[in-house]
Chain A
Amino acid sequence: MARTEVVTATAWEPVIGLETHVELATATKLFCGCANQFGAEPNTNVCPVCLGLPGSLPVLNARVVEFALRIGAALRCRVPEQSIFARKNYFYPDMPKDYQISQYEEPVCIDGTLDVDGRAVGIERAHIEEDTGKTVHVGGGGRIHEAGYSLVDYNRAGVPLMEIVSRPDLRSAEEARAYVTELRALLEAIGVSDVKMEEGSLRIDANVSLRPAGDAAFGTRVEVKNMNSLRSLGRALEFEIERQAGLLDAGERIVQETRHWDEGAGVTHGLRSKEEAFDYRYFPEPDLVPLAPDAEMRAEAAAALPELPADRRARLSADWGIDEDMARILVGTPGLAEYAEAAVAAGAAPVAVARWCTGEVLAYLHEVRVAPGELALLPDGLAELVALVDDGTLSRKLAKDVLDECLRTGEHPSAVVKARGLAQVSDEGELAAVLDAIVADHADVVAAYRAGDDKVKKKKRGFLMGAAMKATRGQANPALLNRLLDQRLG
């Protein structure tokens, strides 16, 4: 695996562990019947339980247990006979009870692994917990200290989360990104989350420390928060590794603290000082009974596992004849492999589909920040585009333009071709007439061609081809046009 080289006097080895919070895609919240829904009007998906009103009590959502066991099976975790819920106590306005129901000493999943680029990264634990609400600071540019007042939306309060904690097995920002990419693909494959980092349904905190290369002992670790994309995770880790290396090189000590990644400034800031360190006073949640999944539930979770990303990559490479990198992009981009497979199922050639999906389609997804499943152009539309290239109706260049329009509008490629009169012209008689007119209009160029050396010949021939393409608005079949021009110049 590639590693980030830290160029310093002492060679420092980064040690990284990641805590991943995954919002589970259940219909309802963790402990009540309110809808688990992103983007609803503030404080509409709330009830006495998720608002933590006096006298309310939590009741565990059975679907969450099912998802937790599925995650445990996919990460090859051990699922103990019983796990217990615990209260994590601290005051925060967006946390309705001023404690979070989580799991502490006895989590639902322990001791798993995730294969990342052929290496097993340890999973220390995965536990169930509830999400908090969201605070919006009004005025002062949204910054807490300058805000005039704050508004709290409790729609997210009580949404089910799994916190998946890796062992400190990662050694570079790139490895960390690869781990998250693989974990995200895995969670997507097993259908437990929509894994959208931008919407916060997948959130990463990183623990980073440095040690002299070769040492076994860990250095002092810093927790970095607020990375809301894979890219910012990579940038934040690279910054933090360099920051720590700089301090260590200067003979300074690393302060154990939580730091906040500032995407705009590209730096991490210290959040709270040591004397404000929280004592969460965890204790077993007396309002819930221990979670003790029976043999049947465990067996169902294992049986319910669909094809996992590694297997899918292997299958796509073998069946479609595409290279590993392409398979990695397809499977590593949420929803993209589904989209491509649907296009292939609609009859398109797999290699062409894979090439479009990992090229233009992927670029468009990044540009407009949507998931493949939300594209206006459905997979059968992409299949149609591939067919139009295959049968010679569209050149690859024209096909790009058509695809671009289809992605934006959702129009079928054939409809766009028809509306814009874009079909490639392969009619020999039509192209011959165009060329005859050009040769007649540019007798001087033809003469120069005939008299010139190779260099001149190439230039003059290019001019005539360009004129012919222009006259056919780029729709001439290039191979046929070349042959016909050669006949006239030869």
Chain B
Amino acid sequence: MIPGPVDGDADADAVALAAAVRSGDRSARAVVDQHLARIDERDEELHAFLLVMADEARAAADAVDATVAAGRDPGPLAGVPVALKDVLCTRGVPTTCGSRILEGWRPPYTATVVARVLAAGGIPIGKTNMDEFAMGSSTENSSYGPTRNPHDPTRVPGGSSGGSAAAVGGGLAPLALGSDTGGSVRQPAALCGVVGVKPTYGLVSRYGLVAFASSLDQVGPFATTVADAAVLLEVIAGHDPCDSTSVPEPGPRLLEGLDDGVDGLRIGIVTELTDVEGVEPEVVAAVEQAGHALEKAGATVERVSVPSAAYGISAYYLIAPAEASSNLARYDGVRYGLRVDAGDTATMNARTRDTGFGPEVKRRIMLGTYALSAGYYDAYYGQAQRVRTLVIRDFARVYERCDALISPTSPSTAFELGARTADPLAMYLSDVCTVPSSLAGHPAMSVPFGAGAHGLPVGLQVLAPARGEAVMFRVAQVVEEAA
């Protein structure tokens, strides 16, 4: 048996739910109440949510029902609950980024992606747990306690968007949004047995997404099916004038060609991300099986090499902390969030940050500050940027003869809570397969495929060139059907 969403039933399918609400067969209010009940039931154990927006969700559901009653169309997400990673600003609703330093802060504005979900009839149902400021791969770095994997509560859900992945994997919400900087959507999706997408950099607005590493951050969907993920991505993608790095074009049409298959496509298995030490044999086997399934569907599949991908993790752990060290400077106790008073401003800043940030955030701020400092910039940040250029070049070369690539999403299936907390480097290696496409700004997604040790879900990563979402989703759809 292939592990899918726990408690999965027809109701977990967002496309079916929205259709039922739009046609008037089910009320949005009933859908929302049902999911709130599930959250009540299961979230004490899972701790996927930091905040359940029960009142707001019911009010939004009533508005959707009123729209349907008035004979108008609430949109493609009509009545579908959407869990939001607590890194997305929600006007008037606490947004913590999993950090003590933002405890109690209520943003005066709403992130573009959240506004688009609302405009499409979707119902924000709560804010999900995460590694503090999205720094981590297990959600154990949350200042508010860890989230547990819905497939095995002794194990982590992955991270940093572990709360969103667990919410969807545990059937608490049909859809969720996360953010992916080096794998923070894809890796927890793999560990929780759901679909998770990191779009092309610039495809989805970052306005209202609290920054970790600005040149890498992208908001992406979690869903139980490839089609559901496509619907949510279509809703949130497209140009936003509030984000200068947003691609000045409308988002892609993904559902239209979703079932076009892979006949004639050339697909590569990335050697550097698959045939390397540290990848569990069951995970490698799953990739091989997915390759066979794609071949059977008409694709040609071969091993390909992206040599610089091997250096991705080193480059990533300089670039991301460098940008983070600057992005997180604003949490200084002056304007919002935590303040620990002192006799002078500099001491107040230092005490506030010492109290408010957890150890992993401090570690990365120090790494990043060092990488940017006078005399070291070129050797660290500069060198990492050169590696990034190489990664882009190597991918470009491979995409001359491949339409898409596949690899493991995560070297391992879900690990036990506490297994890697003492060893930051081991934790960083959880991102080894996901980081290269982040550095390149390319899209990549994780699709559940097969089972690993202890019957835990395995995620297959599908990679595509920039703006290659349509092909990526076609491949993912075939993989899902073969699973």
Binding site for B on A (CB under 8 A): 48, 51-60, 87, 89, 91, 93, 96-99, 150, 152, 279, 281-283, 286-289
Contacts and interface: CB of A to CB of B under 8 A. Distances in A.
Nearest to B246: A57
B244 A288 contact: yes
Contacts of A150: 345
Contact of B245 (A52, A99, A289): A289
Contact of B329 (A53, A98, A286): A98
B461 to A, nearest CB: 25
Nearest to A154: B335
Contact of A287 (B88, B245, B325, B332): B245
B477 interface: no
Given A55-B111, A58-B244, A281-B374, 8 more contacts: A54-B89, A55-B89, A57-B206, A59-B241, A152-B334, A281-B325, A281-B377, A287-B214
Contacts of B243: 57, 59
B346 interface: yes
Contacts of B242: 57, 59
Contact of A55 (B208, B325, B332): B208
The 3 A-B pairs of least Cβ separation, nearest first, read A98-B329, A286-B215, A286-B214
Nearest to B214: A286
Contacts of A288: 244-245
B325 to A, nearest CB: 8
Contact of B349 (A91, A97, A99, A152): A91
A221 to B, nearest CB: 18
Contact of B244 (A59, A98, A283): A59
Nearest to B332: A98
Contact of B381 (A55, A97, A283): A283
23 contacts: A53-B108, A53-B109, A53-B336, A54-B89, A54-B95, A55-B107, A55-B206, A57-B244, A58-B244, A59-B244, A89-B325, A89-B326, A91-B346, A93-B334, A98-B330, A98-B332, A281-B325, A281-B369, A282-B372, A283-B323, A283-B381, A288-B244, A288-B245
A57 B372 contact: no
Contact of B372 (A51, A56, A281, A286): A281
Given A99-B326, A281-B369, A289-B244, A51 B335 contact: yes
B204 interface: no
Interface string B77-118: 000000000001100000101000010010111010000000
Contacts of B109: 48, 53, 55-56
A89 B329 CA distance: 8
A87 B326 contact: yes
Given A48-B109, A55-B89, A57-B242, A281 B326 contact: yes
A55 B209 contact: yes
B445 to A, nearest CB: 23
Contacts of B210: 54-55
Contacts of B207: 55-57
B337 to A, nearest CB: 9
B466 to A, nearest CB: 15
B211 interface: yes
Interface string B363-375: 0000001001110
B17 interface: no
A286 B388 CA distance: 14
Nearest to A89: B326
A52 B373 contact: no
B373 A279 contact: yes
A289 to B, nearest CB: 6
A265 B9 CA distance: 80
A56 to B, nearest CB: 7
A54 B377 contact: no
A93 B214 CA distance: 23
B322 interface: yes
Interface of B: 88-89, 95, 97, 102, 105, 107-109, 111, 206-211, 213-215, 241-245, 322-323, 325-326, 329-330, 332, 334-336, 345-346, 349, 369, 372-374, 377, 381
Contacts of A97: 329-330
B334 A60 contact: no
Given A54-B89, A55-B209, A286 B107 contact: no
Contacts of A91: 329, 332, 346, 349
Given A54-B107, A55-B111, A93-B332, A283 B211 contact: no
A55 B212 CA distance: 10
Contacts of A89: 325-326, 329, 372
A281 B214 CA distance: 16
Contacts of A52: 330, 335
A279 B111 CA distance: 33
Nearest to A53: B107
A415 to B, nearest CB: 53
A288 B242 CA distance: 11
Contacts of A282: 372
B249 to A, nearest CB: 15
Nearest to A279: B374
Given A59-B244, A98-B332, A283 B97 contact: no
A54 B110 CA distance: 11
A292 B25 CA distance: 54
Nearest to A283: B372
A150 B333 CA distance: 14
Nearest to A98: B329
Contacts of A281: 325-326, 369, 372-374, 377
Contacts of B345: 93, 150
B185 to A, nearest CB: 17
A439 to B, nearest CB: 82
B332 A99 contact: no
A89 B336 CA distance: 20
Contacts of A279: 373-374
A49 to B, nearest CB: 8
Contacts of B88: 55
A59 B241 CA distance: 8
A48 B332 contact: no
Most buried by A among B207, B244, B322, B346: B244
B331 to A, nearest CB: 8
Contacts of B111: 55
Contacts of A53: 89, 107-109, 336
Contacts of B372: 89, 281-283
Nearest to B374: A279
A60 B245 CA distance: 11
A58 B111 CA distance: 14
A152 B334 CA distance: 9
A97 B244 CA distance: 18
A451 to B, nearest CB: 86
A93 B339 CA distance: 13
Nearest to A60: B244
A283 B336 CA distance: 26
Contacts of B206: 55, 57
B379 to A, nearest CB: 14
A93 B323 CA distance: 20
Contacts of A96: 330, 335
B110 to A, nearest CB: 10
B211 A55 contact: yes
Contacts of B245: 286-289
A360 to B, nearest CB: 48
B323 A286 contact: yes
Contacts of B214: 286-287
A91 B331 CA distance: 10
Nearest to B202: A289
A382 B335 CA distance: 51
Nearest to A49: B242
A385 to B, nearest CB: 53
A296 B236 CA distance: 34
Most buried by A among B95, B206, B330: B330
Nearest to A94: B334
Contacts of B332: 91, 93, 98
Contacts of B329: 89, 91, 97-99
